[in-house]
Amino acid sequence: MSLLSVVIPAYNEEQNISLAVAGISEVLETADIPYELIFVDDGSKDQTYARICEEARCHPAVRGVSFSRNFGKEAAIFAGLSESKGDACVVTDCDLQFPPEVIPKMWELWQQGFEVVEGKKSTRGNEKAAHGVCARLFYRLIGKAVGMDMQSSSDFKLLDRRVVNVMNTLQEKDTFFRALSFWAGFRTTTVEFEVVARTNGQSKWSIGGLFKYAVNNLTSFTTAPLRVVTVLGAASLIASFVMAIQTLIRFFMGSAVEGFTTVILLLLLIGGAIMISLGIIGHYIARIFDEVKNRPRYIVARRTEEE
């Protein structure tokens, strides 16, 4: 009989642990799916890990690891995947915003032979309009970079053991799980679901955090900004030829005294363009630096088996 692993990253979710265990295990038991729940406590500052330990004591199907500090959801997902033993893995959120009722549907599709089942948001929950616009733009860009339609995609997905093994062998430290499952390929299908509003606690995302997340994830899948630098350089070279000819003609005609304003404007423009280009190149160098250090993606400090 095949086993399903459910990977659940949790950061400051003390109120949600027992709800998640109850909600998910009820659905899976009703559907008669053998399962294990793997909680990854992402260095929470509240009692999340204590709650996970309590659940692990009462339910043999529940396990958990705890990070030494907060490493982020991406790291938590990958830790969960490498801990999992199932023939298929579902990644979901601890706040039950991804309805557990969808998991049996994913399981069914997996049994039909699909190796990746993507959870697709049919609505984006109670989000602000501006947030929705930014999200759409971000997914359009990253979808282009990955070469797939990633609109409405989420971290809610089922992966076959083969895909999980691919994920586990990835060497990169700065990952974007949501796009990596598209990148990996395999037989893929989607399931639509409705995002449920968060009941306990609050979302961990700030505007600044989301912006950084978007930039980091885009640049981890595309080098297009570097090509933009080249295009900008070529454009200004062409413009400079035209300007040079005009300036020389004016010089020989003896009317080259004025034009100081043009010089200042050009200087400012070119200066700005060079700075931005350096910044873009610097961003990629910083990423190379981060990867090359080869530090572990996360540090597991405790496991429920050892408590």
- Write out the residues near ligand UDP by the rule CB under 6 A: 9-11, 13, 42, 70, 72-73, 76, 93-95, 97, 203-205
Binding to Mg ion by residue 97, rule CB under 5 A? yes
Position 66 contacts Mg ion (CB under 5 A): no
Q: How far is the CB of 95 from Mg ion (least distance, A)?
A: 4
- Given the complex with Mg ion, which of 21 and 163 has the nearer CB atom? 21
- How far apart, in whole angstroms, are the C-alpha atoms of residue 173 and residue 225? 21
**Toward ligand UDP, which CB reaches closer, 98 or 114?**
98
- Which residue(s) pair with 202 in the sheet? none
Minimal distance, residue 209 CB to ligand UDP, in Å: 9
- Considering only the stretches 9-17, 89-97, 158-166, 269-277, report the one whose residues sit in contact with Mg ion under the rule CB under 5 A: 89-97
Least Å distance, CB 154 to ligand UDP, is 9
> Taking CB within 5 to 8 Å according to partner kind, which of Mg ion, ligand UDP, none is near residue 13?
ligand UDP
By the 8 A CB rule, do 7 and 40 touch?
yes
Q: Which two tokens stand for residue 145?
A: 């970079």
Contact 42, 75 (CB under 8 A): yes
Torsion of CA 215, 218, 220, 224, to 10 degrees: -110
Angle at 53 between CA 1 and CA 117, to 5 degrees: 40
Contact partner at residue 9 from ligand UDP, Mg ion, none, CB < 5 to 8 Å by partner kind? ligand UDP
- Binding residue for Mg ion, selected from 95, 115, 118, 160, defined by CB under 5 A: 95
Q: Which does 115 bind (CB under 5 to 8 A by kind): Mg ion, ligand UDP, none?
A: none
Nearer to ligand UDP, 205 or 251 (CB): 205
Answer for the pair 155, 78: CB distance below 8 angstroms, yes or no.
Answer: no
Residue 291: burial class (beta carbons within 10 Å; 0-12, 13-18, 19+): middle
Nearest to 31 by CA among 2, 60, 64: 2
Nearer to ligand UDP, 201 or 225 (CB): 201
Contact assessment for residue 51 and residue 45, using Cβ atoms and an 8 Å cutoff: no
Q: Which is nearer to ligand UDP, 80 or 86 (CB)?
A: 80
The secondary structure of residue 60, as a DSSP letter, is T
Residue closer to ligand UDP (CB basis): 114 or 193: 193
| Alpha carbon distance 96, 41 (integer Å) | 16
